[in-house]
């Protein structure tokens, strides 16, 4: 894979992504910056989804597949780094990892940034979390 040139999609979405990362870094629950972050997140998600649409003017299924493959590879590397640093990976999906353990989360973030060139952020700490398995929820 030739990484020496940037493609149309990454150039076209760069400003949206940079702006979203800015609002994500300064938002707080319920403020206008949180709403801006959410709107930009959905613009970026739908832009990605459009690459897989068969009649897309600027999309191509191979682009969608490559972005997905790169994302899987980077998520797997981030999970491996977390485990190397003493964490258990509870769950991971697309662009998120849920970890448990007593390692240094700052060291995980630093290594992920260094090794993947992703500007990863810690979103929150949870005292408890539930992941429902398909077919396990019952209506009452």
pLDDT digits (tens, 9 = 90+) for 47-82: 888 888 877 776 678 888 888 999 999 999 999 999
Q: What confidence score (pLDDT) does residue 2 get? A: 58
Q: What confidence score (pLDDT) does residue 8 get? A: 78
**Mean pLDDT per 10-residue run, the chain (140 residues)?**
71 91 85 92 88 76 87 95 96 91 94 91 87 70
**pTM for the whole structure:** 0.75
| Beta pairing partners, 96 | 93
Q: What confidence score (pLDDT) does residue 62 get? A: 83
The mean pLDDT of the chain is 87
Q: What confidence score (pLDDT) does residue 138 get? A: 65
Q: What confidence score (pLDDT) does residue 61 get? A: 83
């Amino acid at each position: 894979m030739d990484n020496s040139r940037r493609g149309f999609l990454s150039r076209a979405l760069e400003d949206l992504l940079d702006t979203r990362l800015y609002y994500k870094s300064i938002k707080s629950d319920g403020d206008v910056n949180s709403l801006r972050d959410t709107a930009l997140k959905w613009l970026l998600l739908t832009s990605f989804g459009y690459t897989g649409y068969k009649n897309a003017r600027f999309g191509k299924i191979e682009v969608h597949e490559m972005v997905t493959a790169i994302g899987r590879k980077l998520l797997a590397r981030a999970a491996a780094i977390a485990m190397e640093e003493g964490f258990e990976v509870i769950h991971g999906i697309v662009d998120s990892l849920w970890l448990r353990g007593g390692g240094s989360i700052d060291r995980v973030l630093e290594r992920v940034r260094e090794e993947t060139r992703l500007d990863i952020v810690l979103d929150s700490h949870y005292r408890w979390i539930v992941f429902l398995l398909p077919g396990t929820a019952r209506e009452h």
